A and B are shown apart, each in its own frame.
Chain A
Amino acid sequence: MSKARKYDLCIIGGGPAGISAARLAAFNGATVALFERDRLGGNSLNTGCIPSKSIIRTGRLYADIRDARALGAESPPPMADNFAETMQRARDIQARIARHESPESLAADGIDVFFGAVAFSGPRQLTTAGGENVFFKKALVCTGSRARDPDIPGLADIGYQSNETVFAMAKLPERMMVIGGGPLGCELAQAFCRLGCKVSLVHSEPKFLPMEERDAAQLLSDALSRDGVEIHLNTVATAARMVDGKKQVDLLSNGYAFSVTVDEVLTGTGRAPNVEGLGLEKAGVKFDTQAGIGVDDFLCTSNSRVYAAGDVCLPYKFTHMAEASADMAVRNALFFGHCRLSRRHIPWCTYTDPEIAHIGLYVDEANALGIPLKTYTILMLDVDRAITDGEDEGFVKIQVLQGTERIMGATIVARHAGEMINEISLAMQAGIGLSALTEVIHAYPTQAGAIKLAADACRRDRQSGLTRFLNRLSLIFS
């Protein structure tokens, strides 16, 4: 950049939010600069969803082979360690998807991409590491988040893996401890266990996935146990050290202290927003190192020219949320949009086996707010396609406002819950009531038919005594 430039939109961060925002703005005629400190694609492509789902898929295949007899097939002989190939496949997939998000493809969309550090130097300008000033009409900060450093004495000294390093491992550890029973910890504990690693999963709370309802967490706990994961709930890691070349971690569970020796430690103890080194103070953008950048319902920061999207400002740290919030922020910032974050229904899914997906209110949240809910529950045990697939573990629970058919939330535990929750998202966003879904013809047999069964139960329930009487009456005259 030989002289100061001015853009309609300057975007800091080339992850899912930044790329999505850049494409939307450029498509609508805005001049766009996208600044990326490291690699395009962000956590999702490089250290998150894409590599993890790749190895989860491989792990699922191993589990299916292990359980082949349950499907009337014969288990093949034990397989050789193929970890290097598993990880190479994940990297190949990353490379394939990265081609869609290359600097060249973004340039072809009319986006100026700059690599290297950049920071605000005023309320309407950025300065690059090379000292160049760039002016903007509007700016969007979507710098994402990073793995939070665990506060365990000695752990940093002996070294540990996080999602940012674990996918670069060359060799499958014989024994691994996963600390943190949130989505990341549970997904990777199960995946590495299925790949042949002896995994201990340590979690400080009484159940995994603390946000999710008890039955969902219990089914997950059962599934992890069945896979062979050694479970330590209500347990905290208090110290770590090297002993004879191995990593020894001290654990404390309800007053009982003990140690576990492993070859590797993986932590998944939350994420911290990337707010440092951005000069946010110079732009008058308020932020917090724990919660991230403060935004209003329109994703605008305390500087009306600066917006934020994705992990850096939202408690919902999901790729789909990053992209959705970026879309809203761009429309609000440049195109007279009036998109409110609170009007969107946000689904999420933990990609364990079974998967656990949720959208909307949790029952305890609703009760605390004085909103009475009724839950329609369908067990996957009663869904024909789940039975034929040998995937009958789990349930669909759909909550409606009591006395109505208005969907307020749903939790799905099923092998393909992440696919199934989208139907509920659609219904909630479009304002479609649960019993109305009975009129949507669902292909048979499908596991999503469970949602139709829940809708049928709601329809039966909602049918008043008078309606039933009139229906019987009509039978006489038909």
Chain B
Amino acid sequence: MENPSEQEIRSLAHDIYARMDWEWARGGMPTISQGWLPNSGFLHYGWEGYSEAIILYALALGAPALPLSPDVYNSWRDTYQWENIYGHDYLYAGPLFIHLFSHAWIDFRGIKDTFFADKNSDYFENTKRAIAVQREYTRRNPHAFKGYEADIWGLTACDGPSGSPVTVERRQQYFYGYAARGVPYGPDDGTLAPWAGLATLPFAPDASMACINRTLEAYPNLVRDGRFSSAYNPTHGGAGPEGWVADYYSGLDQGLIVLMIENHRSGMIWDLMKKIPALRRGLKAGGFGKGWLA
């Protein structure tokens, strides 16, 4: 199954993870720093608000040699916001990818940390509600973008058009290029990521399939060589009804789709990850319990 290249990748990844000093990675801040540069040192901002960093924290807390203190995870969680939007209670994060990327690896069904202890929800259920908020947002379509409807959604971090603005209902609509688009606060310039709907398959299969079917029905040109393009924007001018279309595919997007389809089909990625001691250790240190961690 493993060729020498795969073995080397696995070995190097293991070595890096084993020697990582996670307390150092805070850079003296309450939460893990978002980066370090050789010339200027730590970026002086950490992770704020619910984000895809949950797997980062799980790995950091479960590191074999120099793990992160559980207090740091609690500090990060202090920036969470439990919101009621469109009648849905959920842990808010605007872009859809935040609700998906840690979840591709970790099966959050049945396990919850203390944040969710009194909330009749968990990180898995939370993603379902985030999908519901996305659908409600595009159904309402407050900015009158072309193509938005209850079954056509997918606001997330992705490439997008840039350049001159166009007029939408008398207002000047600017375009943001690559941006972490989100709901309901934006940014939103009418750009959608067709792969995002497909990546929600394990969480809301009916909504996911409805999104895929409706998107393909309206915009068949979004699939080229059997793959979804990274993003499209019907509001921005283009050759077809799909308007502007990203001219490349992103491995990040395609990889997520593969992981999520397999999780939906067999749960294989989740099951493999459940066997990794470091992840179990990290989740437990973060206060997760019950379910498959019991």
Contacts and interface: CB of A to CB of B under 8 A. Distances in A.
A255 B84 CA distance: 40
Given A72-B170, A234-B45, A372-B118, A379 B184 contact: yes
B118 A255 contact: no
A222 B89 CA distance: 26
Nearest to B81: A363
Interface stretch (A213-221, A321-329, A443-451): A213-221
Interface stretch (B35-43, B251-259, B274-282): B35-43
Nearest to A366: B78
A457 B84 CA distance: 8
A454 to B, nearest CB: 9
B49 interface: yes
A281 interface: no
B117 to A, nearest CB: 10
Contacts of A219: 185-186
Chain B CB within 10 Å, residue with most, of A70, A254, A392, A461: A254
A392 B171 contact: no
Contact of B171 (A67, A367, A377): A67
B83 interface: yes
A69 interface: yes
Contacts of B38: 255
B87 interface: yes
B142 A367 contact: no
Interface string B76-115: 0111111111010100101000000000000000000000
A386 B79 CA distance: 29
B142 A214 contact: no
A265 B77 CA distance: 39
Interface in B142-168: 142-143, 167
Interface in A363-379: 363-364, 367-368, 372-377, 379
A69 B168 CA distance: 11
B77 A367 contact: yes
A37 interface: no
A376 B75 CA distance: 23
Interface string A390-423: 0010010100001000000000000000000000
> Looking at chain A, what size class is its interface with the partner chain?
35 or more
B187 interface: yes
A459 to B, nearest CB: 12
A18 to B, nearest CB: 39
B40 A381 contact: no
Contacts of A395: 184-185
B140 interface: yes
A70 to B, nearest CB: 4
B142 A379 contact: yes
Interface string B8-50: 0000000000000000000000000000011110011100110
A254 B171 contact: no
Contacts of B172: 67, 70
Contacts of B219: none
B185 A206 contact: no
B78 A367 contact: yes
Interface in B37-80: 37-40, 43-45, 48-49, 75, 77-80
A219 B49 CA distance: 16
Interface in A249-288: 252, 254-255
Contact of B81 (A254, A375, A461): A375
B83 A397 contact: yes
A174 B143 CA distance: 34
Contact of A457 (B43, B87, B118, B187): B87
B39 A373 contact: no
A255 B185 contact: no
B49 A214 contact: yes
Interface in A340-395: 363-364, 367-368, 372-377, 379, 381-382, 392, 395
A383 to B, nearest CB: 11
A254 B43 contact: yes
A226 interface: yes
Contact of A368 (B40, B44, B78, B83): B78
A100 interface: no
Contacts of A8: none
Q: Which of B80, B85, B184, B185 has the most CB of A within 10 A?
A: B185
B41 to A, nearest CB: 8
A478 to B, nearest CB: 26
A205 interface: yes
Contact of B82 (A71, A222, A373): A373
Nearest to A413: B185
A355 to B, nearest CB: 16
A222 B82 CA distance: 24
A288 B79 CA distance: 31
A234 B44 contact: yes
Interface in A450-465: 457-458, 460-461
Contacts of A363: 79-81
Given A218-B187, A374-B84, 10 more contacts: A70-B171, A206-B45, A215-B94, A222-B187, A363-B81, A367-B77, A368-B75, A379-B185, A397-B83, A461-B84
Interface of B: 37-40, 43-45, 48-49, 75, 77-85, 87, 89, 92, 94, 118, 140, 142-143, 167, 170-172, 174, 184-187
11 contacts: A67-B172, A206-B44, A215-B94, A234-B43, A234-B44, A255-B40, A363-B79, A368-B75, A374-B84, A397-B83, A461-B84
Closest 8 pairs (CB-CB, A-B): A255-B40, A367-B78, A206-B45, A381-B142, A255-B39, A70-B171, A375-B83, A377-B85
Interface of A: 67, 69-72, 205-206, 213-215, 218-219, 222, 226, 234, 252, 254-255, 363-364, 367-368, 372-377, 379, 381-382, 392, 395, 397, 402, 457-458, 460-461
